[in-house]
Amino acid sequence: MPISARVWTAGKILLLVGALSATFVAFAMMAARVAVRARDVAVPNLVGRELNEATAVAANLDLQLTVDETRRPDLKVPAGFVLGQEPPAGSFSRRQRSVRVWLSAGPRIARAPALVGESQRAAEIRIVQEGLQPGAVAEIRSALYPPDVVVAQDPQPGVETAEVRLLVNRGEDRASYVMPDLIGVNGERAADILRGHGFRVSITAQSAATGLPPGVVTRQAPAGGYQVHPGDAIALEVSR
């Protein structure tokens, strides 16, 4: 057989061997992934289940349950039922792995502490320290009380309850205005009116403007139409 023919035959054999090797490696990798995937299971949703039921559900999937020693009070989940889990439901885990759960202690009943006059943060800390749950927070705006202070609570101090709701003052609501368009208005006169309403007004470096008498507003910040509040800064630029 000529040398060229033998070289061509050997090349075809090498190509065939290479293709078969690549195919074998690809199938081996796919088989490994399938085998690993077969050992994974979807973590079930155990929240809201009683402990024995949750244990059985996990065991059916070859998962183990690890129960957190500290129980947490909850108004909706009864005592002894799963309140939370890790990893979360729907994620994948290897068989024989543990799912950590913590259980509800049920609603903790205690006497509501006196909270009127305290800041919202201090009141909520005291509620938790008493083993109760902070409830909804309603708000008012009034100049009669300091801002962010509890002005009422439900239930009243001394009443047995599982949660405490608060009424908190957010402080007096500031008046708001729509910034007028002052272009072409006398700057000093506009500044006096704005200062009379509590705004901080400054007349900035004057600009040269032809055809305008001195002291007329040529620029303003903020522009007309913006919402402003007493105490805000307003800058006016006038002609010279």
Task: Give the pLDDT of residue 57.
Answer: 95
Look at residue 28 and tell me whether its pLDDT is greater than 70. no
Task: Give the pLDDT of residue 209.
Answer: 58
The mean pLDDT of 207-219, rounded to a whole number, is 80
DSSP string, 168-193: EE--PPPP-EEPP--TTSBHHHHHHH
Q: What percent of the chain has pLDDT above 70? A: 82
DSSP string, 38-57: HTEEEPP--TTSBHHHHHHH
Look at residue 4 and tell me whether its pLDDT is greater than 80. no
- Measured distance CA(220)–CA(186) in Å, rounded: 12
Q: What is the pLDDT of residues 141-161, one digit of tens each?
A: 888 899 899 999 999 999 999
Look at residue 58 and tell me whether its pLDDT is greater than 80. yes
Q: Which of 175, 171, 186 is nearest to 231 (CA)?
A: 175
Confidence band, pLDDT 50/70/90 cuts, at residue 18: low
Task: Give the pLDDT of residue 47.
Answer: 95
Q: What is the pLDDT of residues 111-134, one digit of tens each?
A: 999 999 999 999 999 998 988 889
Look at residue 218 and tell me whether its pLDDT is greater than 80. yes
Q: What is the pLDDT of residues 161-184, one digit of tens each?
A: 989 999 999 887 777 889 999 999
Confidence band, pLDDT 50/70/90 cuts, at residue 24: low
* Pairing mode, strands 233-239 and 200-207: parallel
Confidence band, pLDDT 50/70/90 cuts, at residue 17: low
Look at residue 8 and tell me whether its pLDDT is greater than 70. no
- Measured distance CA(119)–CA(70) in Å, rounded: 29
